[in-house]
């Protein structure tokens, strides 16, 4: 059985006392009624908490057992012990798990979750097990979402986003883990089957990075991106494989990038001169005769 853990990061003495009281309360109930769900555990990937459990001992030969989930913030339990919220999607279900999703409106608080078991046809003999969940501190981080990858001959650019949570923003979009945590990402990239080529990069809390250290043209790299929350919870890694550009492609693009503007400039210049050729000739022919040499040169030019 998992004993509740409460008041993370608060006064240690108060936390231990409350844990003791809740633990005694749960254990006392179990001693009175041993017919309770067993091995109650939970997981909160990206603040999306799910509770799982096993059937009571000896239920395989005694018919179907139905389960109902109740939850309550721990501070409410201290002041209003009867204020339990019933999870509609997990009422009288034969499943041994329940997704609580965004039901915990205070992710920093501590919540008590009660798994109640009722044997089919014996509704008076119900029993339950409780577990304590602190979504913010119990959360785990899943892999980041890679949104953009681009390469040159000697650099690799990556951009990513943190995973979604079950909570909805006021604008209607699902909130991401970065709305609740400062996530620090580390990147490791290697040439496959060459451990000596591995390079580690600390990107801090940024969600993009340009890698240019020891990058070789026309080479395949395996890149691993992993985040960390609360300074000690490592998230799930995501791996991608990219190949840098060939050196020749860069040279060709450089030549094209230089020649095309020059050719366009030359064409525009020649076209302008062609369109204004008559104007230049008439202007020269209207000269006062003081510069006969210039007029002669212009006539020679247009007679060719």
Nearest CA among 189, 133, 183, 148 for reference residue 162? 183
Q: Which residues on adjacent β-strands are paired with residue 185?
A: 204, 227
Measured CA angle at 92 (ends 88, 95), to 5 deg: 95
Are 167 and 175 contacting, i.e. CB atoms less than 8 angstroms apart?
yes
Q: Locate tokens 């109740």: which residue?
A: 70
Are 96 and 53 contacting, i.e. CB atoms less than 8 angstroms apart?
yes
Are 240 and 223 contacting, i.e. CB atoms less than 8 angstroms apart?
yes
Q: Where are the beta strands (DSSP E) in 37-93?
A: 38-45, 49-54, 65-73, 85-86
Task: Name 284's Cβ contacts closer than 8 Å, sequence gap at least 6.
Answer: 294, 295, 298
Task: Name 27's Cβ contacts closer than 8 Å, sequence gap at least 6.
Answer: 1
- Classify 157 as helix, strand or coil: strand
Neighbour-count burial of 271, counting CB atoms closer than 10 A to its CB (0-12 exposed, 13-18 middle, 19+ buried) = exposed
For β-strands 184-191 and 194-204, DSSP reports them as antiparallel
Round to whole Å and give the CA distance between 22 and 41.
17
Give, for all 304 residues of the chain, the pLDDT tens digit.
333 333 333 344 444 444 444 444 444 343 334 578 999 999 999 999 999 999 888 776 556 888 999 999 877 556 566 688 999 999 999 999 999 989 998 899 899 999 998 877 666 666 789 999 999 999 999 999 999 999 999 999 999 999 999 999 999 999 999 999 999 999 999 999 999 999 999 999 999 999 999 999 999 999 999 999 988 889 999 999 999 998 865 566 666 677 778 887 777 777 666 666 544 444 444 444 445 555 555 555 555 5
pLDDT at 54: 92
Round to whole Å and give the CA distance between 78 and 81.
6
Structure tokens at 224: 């691993």
Round to whole Å and give the CA distance between 46 and 101.
10
Neighbour-count burial of 217, counting CB atoms closer than 10 A to its CB (0-12 exposed, 13-18 middle, 19+ buried) = middle
pLDDT at 251: 61
- Classify 14 as helix, strand or coil: helix
Round to whole Å and give the CA distance between 288 and 164.
82
pLDDT at 299: 57
Residue 303 φ/ψ region, left for φ over 0, alpha for ψ in the -120 to 50 degree band, beta for the rest: alpha
| pTM for this model (two decimals) | 0.67
């Amino acid at each position: 059985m998992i004993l509740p853990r409460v008041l993370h990061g608060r006064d240690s003495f108060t936390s231990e006392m409350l844990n003791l009281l809740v633990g005694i309360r749960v254990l006392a109930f179990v001693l009175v009624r041993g017919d309770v769900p067993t091995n109650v555990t939970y997981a909160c990937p990206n603040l999306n908490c799910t509770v799982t459990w096993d059937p009571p001992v000896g239920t395989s030969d005694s018919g179907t057992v139905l389960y109902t989930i109740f939850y309550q913030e721990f501070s409410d339990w201290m002041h209003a012990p009867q204020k339990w919220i019933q999870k509609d999607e997990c009422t009288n279900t034969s499943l041994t798990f329940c997704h609580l999703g965004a039901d915990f409106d205070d992710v920093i608080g501590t919540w008590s979750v009660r798994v109640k078991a009722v044997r089919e046809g014996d509704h008076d003999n119900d029993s339950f097990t409780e577990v304590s969940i602190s979504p913010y501190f119990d959360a785990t981080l899943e892999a980041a979402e890679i949104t953009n990858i681009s390469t040159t001959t000697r650099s690799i650019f990556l951009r990513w986003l943190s995973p979604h949570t079950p909570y909805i923003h006021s604008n209607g979009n699902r909130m991401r883990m970065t709305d609740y945590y400062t996530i620090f990402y580390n990147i490791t990239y290697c040439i496959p089957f060459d451990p000596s080529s591995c390079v580690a990069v600390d990107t801090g809390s940024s969600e993009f990075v340009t890698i240019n250290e020891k990058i070789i043209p026309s080479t395949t790299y395996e890149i691993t991106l992993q985040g960390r929350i609360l300074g000690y919870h490592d998230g799930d890694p995501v791996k991608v494989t990219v190949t840098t550009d060939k050196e020749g492609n860069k040279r060709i693009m450089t030549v094209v990038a230089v020649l095309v503007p020059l050719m366009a400039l030359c064409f525009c210049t020649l076209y302008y001169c062609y369109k204004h050729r008559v104007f230049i000739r008439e202007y020269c022919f209207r000269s006062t005769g003081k510069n006969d040499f210039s007029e002669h040169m212009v006539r020679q030019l247009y007679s060719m």
